[in-house]
Amino acid sequence: ATTPCKDPADKLFTVHGLWPSNWNGSHPENCTNKTMNSLAIGTLTAQLEIIWPNVLNRNDHVGFWNRQWNKHGTCGVPKINDSLQYFRTVIKMYITQKQNVSEILAKANIKPEGKNRTLVDILKAIRSGTNNKAPKLKCQRKASMTELVEVSLCSDHNITQFYCPPPH
């Protein structure tokens, strides 16, 4: 496919979420009633604000993270047992497990310069940076261009990456 996907010149990819998935691509939700420990994640706030900001409301990161924990993080058992471990896992995946999509794309010389990119080039770059795992891509039409707005890397309950199932 040669559908161009223009990257926005002013954006870097941030974390959208850590959603433990089933092999069929579905995402379990609200699995336990464990609450988020806001005090415990306080030491992680500076990192989380950079890699996982609330892009819709920059004044409510903690509320956003709380909703993410309740809806998705509680489904990470047995690998993730509490909110602190959930947020540490997000940071670890982003920084040490090389799931920083902006960095992966930059290594393939795909940078936010406002240039058109082919879907093939984007997929090739991401597969190269993720041990050949196929991502899910989401593009959004804006005026006369299509922008790449989301890259999903799929992982199971053990936080092991696998090929993202195709959309239904």
pLDDT tens string 66-124: 999 999 999 887 788 899 999 999 998 888 766 888 889 989 998 877 788 888 999 99
User: Could you tell me the CA-to-CA distances from 118 to 5, 39, 124, 164 in Å, in that order?
Assistant: 6, 44, 10, 20
- The pLDDT assigned to 97 comes to 66
- Mean pLDDT, the chain, rounded, equals 83
By the 10 Å C-beta count (0-12 exposed, 13-18 middle, 19+ buried), 46 is classed as exposed
Instruction: List, in order of start, the domains of the chain with CATH numbers.
Output: 4-162 (3.90.730.10)
Distance CA 136, CA 165 (A): 8
Q: Please state, for a pLDDT cut of 90, what percent of the chain lies above it.
A: 29
Catalytic residues: 16, 68, 72
**High-pLDDT (> 70) share of the chain, %:** 83
pLDDT of residue 156: 67
AA letter at 82: D
- Beta bridge pairs of residue 155: 161
